[in-house]
């Protein structure tokens, strides 16, 4: 049996070996080419993370260039304060403007919410009551603007109020202003006259504001004077003491005096009653009989002044006393007019004028000889 040349010479390849080797080499080359294409195919203009890290300028940088600085976003455009927000350029003042539809309180509540709206409507009514009946005369379409502040833990303070009445066909304004030498700020119209009526022979001389009247629609039986605890209380007429300090839980310190016409004068929430006064004691007009307080069912220092007929009918003290209004002293008129102009701008919704800071002078260089 002849011996094959392949067996005798192992270095010699068989006819099939060479084609198989060529096919294997071509397959390896094709795979490498395909992998190279896959790794090279990136979107045009897009660099990989490795490319960015390896670039001389860092991520997104150019060769030899420093990183680009971030461009700040433009500030948002200024927005108008929402209803009831603090007005820019003021010391905590706010503004609400409403057209009445329904009740005054409902209209204000819809603008600022009931937490602020309820007490703000009550405080505003204290001014409106001197011009009209809030229960009968306020009509849909009437307009109200109020500039106010919210002292922590206290009721709102109205600084200016404007009301346009359809029924009366007139506009009414009130401004809070403290005259020189006065213990309290009070409310004046644009001409500098107090909007509140004062009573001759009133039971109290020093008070901040009348906070309740018989005609304000609250069903209150007396006139309430907002006054510091300890303010002297005087008799408006001669009379005889009937009783004192009864039903203390509700009335607090109290005193009832009956005059010669059978009318009863009642003071409630007193801090103290003169110890010498006992039932049957006679008192004179103008005599100090007590001091105002915050006792019994009372939410703030005040004097409750009530007058009742012999029949038990509640009488309005403003029908019994001679009344008058007080005007600002001439020396306060200039300051008042300036305040009115400022508050009128705020009532109209104009921005407060904020004084620009004074320019700072550049330091001068020292003289060198």
Query: pLDDT, tens digit, for every residue of 120-148?
Result: 999 999 999 999 998 899 999 999 999 99
Residues 252 and 307 reside in one and the same domain: yes
Other C-beta atoms closer than 10 Å to the C-beta of 187 total: 20
Query: Do 176 and 185 meet the contact criterion of CB atoms below 8 Å apart?
Result: yes
Query: pLDDT, tens digit, for every residue of 151-202?
Result: 999 999 999 999 999 999 999 999 999 999 999 999 999 999 999 999 999 9
Of 177, 265, 184, 257, which Cα lies nearest the Cα of 226?
184
Residues 287 and 240 reside in one and the same domain: yes
Structure tokens at 232: 């002297």
Domain of residue 215, residue span: 198-324
Distance between CA 233 and CA 267 in Å, rounded? 9
The count of domains in the chain is 2
Structure tokens at 187: 């409310």
Residues 146 and 205 reside in one and the same domain: no
Planar angle of CA 233, 208, 83, nearest 5 degrees: 150
Confidence of residue 276 (pLDDT cuts 50, 70, 90): very high
Confidence of residue 84 (pLDDT cuts 50, 70, 90): confident
**60 inside domain:** no
CATH code of 256's domain: 2.70.70.10
CATH code of 105's domain: 3.10.450.350
């Amino acid at each position: 049996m002849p011996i094959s040349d392949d067996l005798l010479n192992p270095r010699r390849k068989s006819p099939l070996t060479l084609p198989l080797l060529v096919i294997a080499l071509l397959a390896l080359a094709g795979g490498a080419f395909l992998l190279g294409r896959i790794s090279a195919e990136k979107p045009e203009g897009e660099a990989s993370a490795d490319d960015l890290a390896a670039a001389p300028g860092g991520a997104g940088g150019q060769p030899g260039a420093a990183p680009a600085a971030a461009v700040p976003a433009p500030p948002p455009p200024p927005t108008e304060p929402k209803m009831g927000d603090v007005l820019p350029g003021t010391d905590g003042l706010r503004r609400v403007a409403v057209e009445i539809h329904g009740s005054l309180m409902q209209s204000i509540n819809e603008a600022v919410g009931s937490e602020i709206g309820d007490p703000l409507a009550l405080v505003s009514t204290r001014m409106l009551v001197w011009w009209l009946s809030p229960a009968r005369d306020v009509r849909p379409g009437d307009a109200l603007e109020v500039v106010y502040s919210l002292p922590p833990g206290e009721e709102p303070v109205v600084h200016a109020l404007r009301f346009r009445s359809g029924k009366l066909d007139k506009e009414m304004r009130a401004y809070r202003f403290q005259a020189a030498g006065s213990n309290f700020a009070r409310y004046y119209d644009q001409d500098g006259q107090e909007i509140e009526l004062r009573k001759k022979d009133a039971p109290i001389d020093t008070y901040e504001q009348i906070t309740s009247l018989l005609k304000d629609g609250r069903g209150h039986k007396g006139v309430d004077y907002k006054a510091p605890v300890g303010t002297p209380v005087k008799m408006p007429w001669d009379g005889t003491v009937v009783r004192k300090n009864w039903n203390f839980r509700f009335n607090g310190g109290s005193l009832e005096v009956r005059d010669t016409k059978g009318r009863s004068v009642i003071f409630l929430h007193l801090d103290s009653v003169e110890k010498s006064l006992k039932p049957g004691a006679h008192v004179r007009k103008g005599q100090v009989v007590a001091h105002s307080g915050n006792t019994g069912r009372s939410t703030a220092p005040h004097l409750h002044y009530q007058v009742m007929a012999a029949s038990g009918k509640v009488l309005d003290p403003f029908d019994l006393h001679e009344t008058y209004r007080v005007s600002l002293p001439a020396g306060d008129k200039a300051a008042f007019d300036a305040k009115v102009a400022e508050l009128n701008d705020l009532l109209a919704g104009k921005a407060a004028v904020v004084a620009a800071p004074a320019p700072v002078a550049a330091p001068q260089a020292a003289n060198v000889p």
